[in-house]
Amino acid sequence: MNKRLGLLLSALAMCSTTTWADEKEHGVKVVSPDRFQLEAGALSLGLSQDWRQPLPNVTRALIIVHGRLRNAQTYLQSGEDAAQHAGLAANTLVIAPQFLNELDTQRNHLDNQVLRWNHNGWMAGDPSTGPGQVSSYGALDQIIKHLGNRKLFPALKEIVVAGHSGGGQVVQRFALTGHDHPMLQTEGISLRYVVANPSSYAYFTPQRPVKFDVASCPGFNDWKYGMQNLPDYAKGQSAQQLEQVYVSRNITYLLGQQDTDPNHPALDKSCEAETQGAYRLIRGHNYFDYLKQRHPQLTQKLVEVPGVGHDGDKMFTSPEGEKVLFGK
């Protein structure tokens, strides 16, 4: 109990004192304690339970992705709190990967085996810069593959990949480009995605909800905003192929009703993002409307969280957030 309280207090302190500029210039203050060994290197991550040993009671895995601050432990705590409040803590394994950058590894004197990325390249699925190369999306694939190990997770029925803010951007693009996992279907494990309050979305066509001058924003349709210059992880798939797979996936867009500040310090205000709307709530609605226009039979859902703005903890621990995460 004391350990959990200490983690929560340190996470809250980090949230209250950390600024976007601090993390960009100086690196993260808290590095997650666990490591997941991949061929390219060791991925930093936090876990609610030790997944190196069999977890026969775990029926759901929640992979929760941090935003630009790379504060994975804060998101781990939010996931644990949501599971606890839903009465599902014993049956839920929460996994919070941490996509560190070069400054993070320098500031925290991490060994050379820990995976790191160039600035915020992990958000777009870029490959790590060391020690080896793996896309941030590929790292998520490896986590999912590990969860399919029936010797470790004999009762697992569902994997939920959720992210807020920059993490929401990761989850949306990962759902769009993500590789197939046939072993999940074989083992009867479902895969869902929860995209919460991202600054932008990847569109499948040059169509945008806001009128703009193409000459003044020539990169509006480049990845990560569109389908031009796709990352290597997408393996040269066409926009049409990616779209057909994307709309078939189980995705919920979770939007804060108060995430309406067009001048929020962490809002993407590039011209590419501004073509999608003035603030996150409207950008989410615009994208969902775009999908429904192109696919009238779309089964994906959009859920609003009343009274909440750009706050990952409040989004995921809200009644609406818990229902989306745990299907209650």
For 251-309, how does the pLDDT look when each residue is reduced to its tens digit (9 = 90+)?
999 999 999 999 999 999 999 999 999 999 999 999 999 999 999 999 999 999 999 99
Q: What is the CA radius of gyration of the chain?
A: 19
CA–CA distance, 113 with 204 (Å, rounded to integer):
37
For 157-177, how does the pLDDT look when each residue is reduced to its tens digit (9 = 90+)?
999 999 999 999 999 999 999
Q: 17: Cβ–Cβ under 8 A, 6 or more apart, which residues?
A: none
Give the model's pLDDT for residue 236: 81
Tell me the DSSP string of 199-211.
Answer: S----SSS--SS-
What is the CATH code of the structural domain delimited by 30-326? 3.40.50.1820
Count helices and strands (H / E) in the chain: 12, 8
Average pLDDT along the chain: 93
Please check the confidence at residue 238 and state whether its pLDDT lies above 70.
yes
The predicted model gives 87-98 an average pLDDT of 98
Angle between helices 72-85 and 319-326 (to 10 degrees): 90
pTM higher than the cut 0.95: no
What residues does each domain of the chain span? 30-326
Count of residues in the chain: 328
Q: What percent of the chain has pLDDT over 70?
A: 92
